[in-house]
Amino acid sequence: MDTFKSKLIQLTLATAFTAATMSSAYAEEDVEQTVIDPVIGQPTIEMHSKDFELTGLLGLANVEHVSTNGLFGVRFAYHLTENIFAEASYSVTGHGNSVTYYDAVMGYQFPGQLFLSQNYRYNTATYLVFGGGKSDFESANDYNGGNYNTVVGGGGYRVMLTDDFNIRFDLRGHVHHQLKHDTDAWAIDIEAAVGLGYYF
């Protein structure tokens, strides 16, 4: 009888121990399954969904040693990545003897966002451009005409109004030899423009 009681007690203890062990294992498994990964990814700001951009622009151009006058033109860009783009520009000044700029630049943009209110948020980009081109000066009495090799640099700010349209603000400098063909002197023409761009 004592042997039976002893075995019964041992069996009861063994069963209780097994149940406790299994309960602990299940609890640990539940904890492992409910652990929340604390790593939070940074949101990706997509500027647009298309690669080509066509922009019409209006602005002012200050031609060194001449005057400041109106400017109009067009830019055509190809966006290689979300940050890098290549762009060709054609613009003409409104001077009595006009100046025509032919530019090709590479640009790098830094995406951001513009918050006007809780309901109005726009993707934006601040960008820098650098490249070269030609400045074609029409002949006049006060300076010599002709084509000048030109270094172009500047920057701008782009606001995405929709996925297809943007408004942009550009400030660029055109560096070339002075108009009197002085090979030791340089001039810089400043261009400030606002443009409406379309992606396709």
Using one digit for the tens of pLDDT, what is the confidence trace for 116-167? 888 888 999 999 999 999 999 887 554 566 788 999 999 999 999 998 999 9
What does the pLDDT average to over 65-83? 94
Bridge partners of 121?
115
Between 10-19, 132-141, 173-182, the lowest mean confidence (pLDDT) is in 10-19
- Pair 125, 108: CB distance under 8 Å: no
Tell me the C-alpha distance between 32 and 113, whole Å: 38
Residue located via tokens 């299940």: 26
Contacts of residue 27, defined as CB under 8 A and 6 or more positions apart, other chains included, come to none
Closest CA to 116 of 165, 167, 159: 159
pLDDT at 87 over 50: yes
